[in-house]
Amino acid sequence: MSSSVLSSVDQRTKLVGENRLELLMFQLGTRHIFAMNVFKIKEVINVPKLNIMPGSHHNLKGVMNYRGSSIPIIDLRQAIKMRGAATQATAKNVIITEYNRSVQGFIIGEVKNIVNTSWGTIQPPPSGIGKSNYLTAITQVNVEGKQELVEIIDVEKVLAEIIDYDTSISEEVLDKEIVNHFLGKKVLIVDDSSTARKQIKDTLEQLGISIIERKNGAEALALLKQWADQGKNPTDEILLMFTDAEMPEMDGYRLTSEVRNDPRMSNLFIALNTSLSGSFNDAMVEKVGCDRFISKFQPDMLVDVAQQRMREYLSSQNR
C-alpha cells in the first residue's frame, strides 16, 4: 500500500468537525484488526533499511532517514505487548505518523483498507480489560461482508513509554501575581488517552488545581449539562476545560460547538489540547469557537493557558 492511498489533508479536514474520521486498518501478524486515525498518518511505506541505535529503548527497531531527518522506528507489535517481536514474516509496512509535534514510524503487518466512519460508532474499550491495555477505543467495521472488531491503538501511551515526558514547569512562565489564586480551583480534562490525561493532571496539580477527568466529549457534555440542569453555572464549577480533538462518541470540536450553542454554558473557557498540529487546527478553533489551541505535550503552554483564564476570572470578579 503506497502513500497515494491516503487522502489529501484537504479532503480529510472536511471530516473533522463533523464528528467523523477515517481509520487505517491493519494487522500485526495475527487475525486481529487494529487501526489508527488517518489524520495522524503521513504515509505508509515498505519496511526500509534501519540503522540500529545501541542502548536505545527495546521497542525501537532503529532509525531511518525520512525526508532529510532521522526518525525513530517503533516495533508496534512489541510495544503493545503482543507475544514476540515483529519478524520478517510479520513486518510488512511502516506507518509514518506525526504525534505531539514529532514524526515517528511504526512497523506493522498487512494493511487492510481505510474506512470512513463516525466518532459516534467508536466506543471506549470495555472497562473490564484493565488499565494496562493499549487501546483508546474499539469499533465494529464491515470487512469483506463480515462485522469485525477493530481495536484503535493508544499511540500516546506507546510513545510515553519510550519518551520520558517532563512535566516540570519553567520558573519564568509562572506569574507570581496569579499562581496563588489557583488553589482550590477545578479544571475539567477531556481526553480518551489516560496517558494524556495524566500528563495534564501532573502539570496542573503543581499549581494547586484540582482535576476532574472525562474520557470523551459525550461524558464531558453530560457533566456540564447535569450542572446546568441543577441550576449551577458550569463556569462557577470549573475554571476552564482542556479537551482533546479526537475522542470516541463525540470529538472535541463537536463538544465545543455543543457548549457554545447552550446559553447556560456558552461562555465556558475551552482550550483544545491535541496531538494534531498545523494551521488546520487554527481554522477549526476559529470555526467551533475554542479560546485557545495547544499541541501536546507542552507543560509551559498548559500553565500559560490556565494563567490567561485566571487573569480573565480575576478581572471579572473586580468589576
Residue 93 counted as domain residue: yes
Average pLDDT rounded to a whole number, residues 40-50: 90
Q: What share of the chain is helix, strand, coil (3-state, %, to 5)?
A: 30, 30, 40
Grid coordinates representing 68?
532529510
How does residue 5 score in pLDDT terms, banded at 50, 70 and 90?
very low
Residue 74 has pLDDT above 70, yes or no: yes
Please give the pLDDT value at position 235.
94
Please give the pLDDT value at position 280.
58
Residue 166 counted as domain residue: no
Among 136, 161, 186, the domain-final residue is 161
Q: How many domains does the chain have?
A: 2
Among 121, 137, 161, the domain-final residue is 161
Please give the pLDDT value at position 189.
98
CATH of the domain at 109: 2.40.50.180
Interstrand relation of 33-37 and 20-26 (parallel, antiparallel or unpaired): antiparallel
Same domain for 215 and 234, yes or no, is: yes
Grid coordinates representing 133?
491495555
Same domain for 278 and 154, yes or no, is: no
Please give the pLDDT value at position 274.
82
Residue 261 has pLDDT above 90, yes or no: yes
Average pLDDT rounded to a whole number, residues 223-248: 95
Residue 263 counted as domain residue: yes
CATH of the domain at 300: 3.40.50.2300
Residue 235 counted as domain residue: yes
Residue 294 counted as domain residue: yes
Same domain for 64 and 182, yes or no, is: no
Same domain for 259 and 209, yes or no, is: yes
Average pLDDT rounded to a whole number, residues 86-98: 84
Domain that holds residue 7: 1-161
What's the angle, vertex CA 173, arms to CA 176 and CA 184, rounded to 5?
55
Same domain for 263 and 129, yes or no, is: no
Q: Comparing 14 with 168, which gets the higher pLDDT?
A: 168
How does residue 17 score in pLDDT terms, banded at 50, 70 and 90?
low
Grid coordinates representing 89?
514474516
Q: Comparing 7 with 104, which gets the higher pLDDT?
A: 104
Please give the pLDDT value at position 7.
45
Residue 13 counted as domain residue: yes
Grid coordinates representing 104?
515517528
Grid coordinates representing 179?
499562581
217-229 vs 252-260: helix axis angle to the nearest 10? 20
Interstrand relation of 135-143 and 20-26 (parallel, antiparallel or unpaired): unpaired
Same domain for 149 and 186, yes or no, is: no
Same domain for 224 and 264, yes or no, is: yes
Condensed to tens digits (0 to 9), the pLDDT of residues 196-228 reads: 999 999 999 999 999 999 999 999 999 999 999
- Which residues make Cβ contacts (< 8 Å) with residue 306, sequence separation at least 6? 182, 187, 204, 207, 209, 239, 240
Residue 156 counted as domain residue: yes
Condensed to tens digits (0 to 9), the pLDDT of residues 267-318 reads: 999 999 887 655 556 666 777 789 998 888 899 999 999 999 999 999 988 7
Same domain for 117 and 191, yes or no, is: no
Among 134, 161, 188, the domain-final residue is 161
CB-based contact 152:34 (threshold 8 Å): yes
Same domain for 312 and 185, yes or no, is: yes
Residue 148 counted as domain residue: yes
Same domain for 195 and 63, yes or no, is: no
Average pLDDT rounded to a whole number, residues 57-62: 90
CB-based contact 204:258 (threshold 8 Å): no
Same domain for 134 and 15, yes or no, is: yes
Question: Percentage of residues in the chain with pLDDT exceeding 70?
Answer: 89
State the chain's mean pLDDT as an integer: 87
Full-prediction pTM beyond 0.75? Answer: yes
- Which residues make Cβ contacts (< 8 Å) with residue 152, sequence separation at least 6? 23, 34, 35, 36, 37, 122, 135, 136, 137, 138, 139
Please give the pLDDT value at position 16.
58
Same domain for 28 and 150, yes or no, is: yes
In sequence order, the β-bridge partners of residue 190 are: 214, 243
Question: Percentage of residues in the chain with pLDDT exceeding 90?
Answer: 55
